[in-house]
Amino acid sequence: MIPRQFRLLPEHLYPSDEWSIIERSYSDTWMGNAETIFSVGNGFLGVRGTFEEGRPTIEAGTFCNGFHETWQIVHAEEAYGFARTGQTMVNVPDATVIKLYVDDEPLYLPTARLTSYERRLDFKTGVLQRELTWSSPAGKQVTIRSRRLVSFEHRHVSAVEYEVVLDTDAPVVLSSQLLNRQDARATDEPGNGNGKSDPRRAKGFTQRVLNARDHINQDQRVVTGYRTTNSRMTLGVGMDHILETENQWFAENSWSQDLSKVVFTIEAKAGVPIRLTKFATYHTSRSVPAIELVDRSMRTLDRTMREGYASIETAQREYLSRFWERADIVVGAEPRVQQAVRWNIFQLCQASARAETTGIPAKGLTGQAYEGHYFWDTEIYVAPFLTYTESRITRNLLRFRHSMLNPARERAKELSEPGALFPWRTINGEEASSYYAAGTAQYHINADIAYAIKSYVAIRGDSDLLAEVGAEILVETARLWAGLGFFGPESGSFHIHGVTGPDEYTTVVNDNTFTNLMARENLRYAAEVVEWLKEHRPDAYRHLVHETKLKNDEVVYWRRAAESMYIPYDKERGIHPQDENFLEKEVWDFANTPVARYPLLLHYHPLVIYRHQVIKQADVVLAMVLLGDQFSIEQKRRNFDYYDPLTTGDSSLSACVQAILAAEIGYADKALEYFQYALLMDLADVAGNTVDGVHIASTGGVWMVLTYGFGGMRDFHGKLSFAPRIPESWSTLEFSLRFHGRTLQMVFNHEEYSFELQEGEPITIEVCGKELYLDHREAVKVPACVHDARDGCVEKQHQQPTLEEGLPPC
């Protein structure tokens, strides 16, 4: 990988803390990144870490998962089947804003004299809190404490508690707002963003997005029902308030389509605290009228007002306590590493916890970049974490994919294929990728989904999902492969041409190794599941046959295609070419490419990139991680040695994968180096665009490096195995997994490994190639693995043959 620059958060401003991320001073420089890093969310609702005062801000944003506006994609040159429907997650009205005026002077952080300041996002409480003392222009000391959360327990609720105390009497105004920034942006409302317009970020709509259809403003409550202009989705947004103070005060509300307010005017006395609690609620729908969502918002506000802020915060803490029990990873490294590890895991929680009937956007709900679209990131980078810690969420995500099967069938038809082709990027199920070479051509999305289904079933040890929705997805995805590929007239091998693999610096190629391997897996598993269903779930089988009009000979064909799948292999070099013609290309001139010209995609025409051996992100290397049982350790090392110098890491999906494989083949230094890129992707702005939102796939990747990479955990064929490779500089690595209804707790150090079965039936796992029986008596300790001369060769060979014969089995 090309060495990247870390733009580390300076320790004096952002000190280490194992359970929170802290900001010690207001900073213009770091504001954009901090807005992302201090985001709070619950997988349905997300709020960027902007200040309560509403400004300044680089990219303020509040998002409801799946709530999007559509627009017609206009192609500079049209062609048949190009994506037509643009989809962009809407920046919904911002309910965080509480403007403070003392003596009619606003608190404006960039110019305010702050005698103390701390902001903290606490991973245990799930609360973003801030405490500061403002020495006002008139010399008054104003102490402000605020707390903000998006509730994990109450899916539709966010809340702010804002407390002000003065050392002198003064008139105080708190203007609590609900600000529609999405449309205010178009109308150029001042103080709204810094005017940057980078086309990679999100669609700047030229027309109004949110149209108010109904509203209620009574007392300290304002609720608005909106409908979007094109997608006709509806949104209910509301806020309500509780002001607690011994001071004299009164409140007034006002409503307008883009800015509603409840303004509190307070005669503040010295030392008499003012505490404003603000609840906000968001409801969205594809079908229900706005007025109905206004109603739902009213009921939600009623309930939260009854419960009160303290109770919601308690529930928040309890939720997270359960989360960390399942998901925490303890590393025996410096606190900064532990902090970063927990920040990444916390992001996974915030992106997924309440993502029900939706997917997980590439940036979670922390930014509008990538338009809030769902990619393969979910199935390949996030699902492993979820399945091992809270498989219910994986099931929801796979059920959501199933709900998009009909548009995927339509899309396959447009692409002249049978079955279903899932969109490369989407919110509503339609393909939204407007550049097919690095979009629709990534047919592997189909196999990625099938892979996630297989993993879910294998890790959970539960086949219900197959009968419910999995089998139907498997049938339709297998059909796509059967139609797309063909048997070479001479070789008799099954080929898949004209596809793009994970590496987007090499597009529309023949027989991409990753794609062919994953498609083979898809075909095999589909056949296996259909036969299993026939035998064990005859009713579900009949239902499946009815729904899909499945024919017996199709399954036979899938097996034949899978067994004949062509896998490129270069005997001379002993490596798997990324695709059939990859090795024939000219090697990129890395020596003469200045660091400033990365990422290459911003500095070279696609034609230049595509005709060279240069890789954006792990491709064959990813195949060796996902399908690691199908490669010998020697192949892994040779492939890694070949591809590693060609890989720019211009994608955030790469470093974690490279780290896992590097660990497996015994390249400890590289493993740690790549782990750090993944770990600090956002915290040290490795990709240079932290401001646009969290790289959720990379946060999932961090979990994978810790468990698969350093923990050496593998789960091929439903069997759990470990061959830990803890970094030299770390003392321990502790994590927990749920597997087949069991809870396992692992503690690894350089001397010994401890395995504890905390819940569930006894189980035999494999450690460093040896079987280990676990029951409830106590933690079982075994000495640390000794990696032999063929370093990394710790797993036994499974039934499946390696791809190429002639190489000695591992």
Nearer to a copy of itself, 601 or 780 (CB): 601
DSSP per-residue string spanning 337-402: HHHHHHHHHHHHHHHHTT--SS---TTTTS--GGGG-B-THIIIIIHHHHHHH-HHHHHHHHHHHH
In contact, 387 and 456? CB cutoff 8 Å: yes
Q: What is the closest distance, in whole angstroms, from the C-beta atom of residue 576 to a copy of itself in the complex?
A: 18
Q: Which of residues 502-541 bind a copy of itself (CB under 8 A)?
A: 508, 510
Query: Does 573 participate in binding a copy of itself (rule CB under 8 A)?
Result: no
Q: Which residues, 6 or more positions from 528, have their beta carbon under 8 angstroms from its beta carbon?
A: none
Instruction: Tell me which stretch binds a copy of itself (CB under 8 A): 75-83, 345-353, 695-703, 777-785.
Output: 75-83
**Among the residues of 537-592, which ranges form H helices?**
538-548, 552-563
Q: Which residue has the tokens 């309500």?
A: 240
Q: What is the closest distance, in whole angstroms, from the C-beta atom of residue 495 to a copy of itself in the complex?
A: 8
Query: Does 414 participate in binding a copy of itself (rule CB under 8 A)?
Result: yes
Q: Which residues, 6 or more positions from 286, have their beta carbon under 8 angstroms from its beta carbon?
A: 232, 233, 234
Amino acid at residue number 727: P
Query: Does 204 participate in binding a copy of itself (rule CB under 8 A)?
Result: no
Among 12, 29, 80, 195, binds a copy of itself (CB under 8 A): 80
Query: Does 497 participate in binding a copy of itself (rule CB under 8 A)?
Result: yes
Instruction: Tell me which stretch binds a copy of itself (CB under 8 A): 108-116, 428-436, 516-524, 708-716.
Output: 428-436
Q: What is the closest distance, in whole angstroms, from the C-beta atom of residue 376 to a copy of itself in the complex?
A: 18
Instruction: Tell me which stretch binds a copy of itself (CB under 8 A): 36-44, 449-457, 495-503, 684-692.
Output: 495-503
Beta strands in 740-779 (DSSP E): 742-749, 752-759, 763-767, 770-774
Q: What is the closest distance, in whole angstroms, from the C-beta atom of residue 642 to a copy of itself in the complex?
A: 14
The helix (H) or strand (E) run that includes residue 670 is helix 668-679
Nearer to a copy of itself, 301 or 415 (CB): 415
Q: How many residues does the chain have?
A: 810
Query: Does 570 participate in binding a copy of itself (rule CB under 8 A)?
Result: no
Q: Which of residues 472-491 bind a copy of itself (CB under 8 A)?
A: 486, 488
Q: What is the closest distance, in whole angstroms, from the C-beta atom of residue 373 to a copy of itself in the complex?
A: 12
CA–CA separation, 214 and 236 (whole Å): 9
Instruction: Tell me which stretch binds a copy of itself (CB under 8 A): 82-90, 146-154, 377-385, 390-398.
Output: 82-90
Instruction: Tell me which stretch binds a copy of itself (CB under 8 A): 413-421, 643-651, 667-675, 761-769.
Output: 413-421
Among 105, 189, 468, 580, binds a copy of itself (CB under 8 A): 580
Nearer to a copy of itself, 19 or 481 (CB): 481
Among 77, 188, 539, 553, binds a copy of itself (CB under 8 A): 77
Among 177, 180, 192, 440, binds a copy of itself (CB under 8 A): 440
Q: What is the closest distance, in whole angstroms, from the C-beta atom of residue 428 to a copy of itself in the complex?
A: 17
Query: Does 658 participate in binding a copy of itself (rule CB under 8 A)?
Result: no
Among 117, 323, 436, 451, binds a copy of itself (CB under 8 A): 436
Query: Does 79 participate in binding a copy of itself (rule CB under 8 A)?
Result: yes
First-to-last C-alpha distance (Å) of the chain: 27
Q: What is the closest distance, in whole angstroms, from the C-beta atom of residue 194 to a copy of itself in the complex?
A: 21
The helix (H) or strand (E) run that includes residue 181 is helix 181-186
Q: Which of residues 581-610 bind a copy of itself (CB under 8 A)?
A: 581, 584-586, 601-608, 610
In contact, 76 and 410? CB cutoff 8 Å: no
Among 108, 249, 435, 569, binds a copy of itself (CB under 8 A): 435
Q: What is the closest distance, in whole angstroms, from the C-beta atom of residue 567 to a copy of itself in the complex?
A: 15
Query: Does 199 participate in binding a copy of itself (rule CB under 8 A)?
Result: yes
Q: What is the closest distance, in whole angstroms, from the C-beta atom of residue 431 to a copy of itself in the complex?
A: 11
Nearer to a copy of itself, 441 or 533 (CB): 441
Nearer to a copy of itself, 486 or 773 (CB): 486
Other Cβ atoms within 10 Å of 762 Cβ, number? 11
Long-range contacts of 584-588 (CB under 8 A, 24+ apart): 585/611, 585/612, 585/613, 586/611, 586/612, 586/613, 587/612, 587/613, 587/614, 587/646, 588/612, 588/613, 588/614, 588/646
3-state secondary structure 464-529: HHHHHHHHHHHHHHHHHHHHHCEECCCCCCEECCCECCCCCCCCCECCCHHHHHHHHHHHHHHHHH
Instruction: Tell me which stretch binds a copy of itself (CB under 8 A): 68-76, 159-167, 349-357, 554-562.
Output: 68-76
Nearer to a copy of itself, 110 or 204 (CB): 204
Among 611, 770, 776, 781, binds a copy of itself (CB under 8 A): 611
Nearer to a copy of itself, 480 or 726 (CB): 480
CA–CA separation, 508 and 668 (whole Å): 34
What is the radius of gyration, based on Cα positions, of the chain? 27
Applying CB under 8 A, what is the total number of residues that bind a copy of itself?
46
CA distances from 645 to 591, 599, 658, 677 (A): 11, 15, 11, 16
Burial of 704 (0-12, 13-18, 19+ CB in 10 A): buried
Nearer to a copy of itself, 126 or 568 (CB): 568
Closest CA to 739 of 384, 308, 470, 302: 384
Q: What is the DSSP letter of 438?
A: G
Catalytic amino acids?
504
Among 179, 441, 452, 656, binds a copy of itself (CB under 8 A): 441
Query: Does 110 participate in binding a copy of itself (rule CB under 8 A)?
Result: no
Nearer to a copy of itself, 86 or 193 (CB): 86
CA–CA separation, 412 and 497 (whole Å): 16
CA–CA separation, 803 and 800 (whole Å): 9
Nearer to a copy of itself, 497 or 719 (CB): 497
The helix (H) or strand (E) run that includes residue 101 is strand 98-102
Q: Which residues, 6 or more positions from 744, have their beta carbon under 8 angstroms from its beta carbon?
A: 720, 736, 737, 738, 755, 756, 757, 758, 763, 765, 774
Nearer to a copy of itself, 203 or 543 (CB): 203
Closest CA to 203 of 222, 189, 182: 182
Among 81, 110, 335, 645, binds a copy of itself (CB under 8 A): 81
State the binding string over 536-565 for a copy of itself (x if CB under 8 A, else -). Answer: ------------------------------
Q: What is the closest distance, in whole angstroms, from the C-beta atom of residue 438 to a copy of itself in the complex?
A: 8
Nearer to a copy of itself, 508 or 784 (CB): 508
Q: What is the closest distance, in whole angstroms, from the C-beta atom of residue 407 to a copy of itself in the complex?
A: 16
Q: Which residues, 6 or more positions from 592, have their beta carbon under 8 angstroms from its beta carbon?
A: none
In contact, 479 and 406? CB cutoff 8 Å: no
3-state secondary structure of 183: helix
CA–CA separation, 212 and 234 (whole Å): 10
- Name 133's bridge partners: 116, 143
In contact, 644 and 670? CB cutoff 8 Å: yes
Q: What is the closest distance, in whole angstroms, from the C-beta atom of residue 58 to a copy of itself in the complex?
A: 22
Closest CA to 218 of 278, 257, 260: 260
Nearer to a copy of itself, 329 or 441 (CB): 441
Q: What is the closest distance, in whole angstroms, from the C-beta atom of residue 72 to a copy of itself in the complex?
A: 10
Binding site for a copy of itself (CB under 8 A): 73-83, 86, 199, 414-416, 433-437, 439-441, 486, 488, 495, 497-498, 508, 510, 580-581, 584-586, 601-608, 610-611
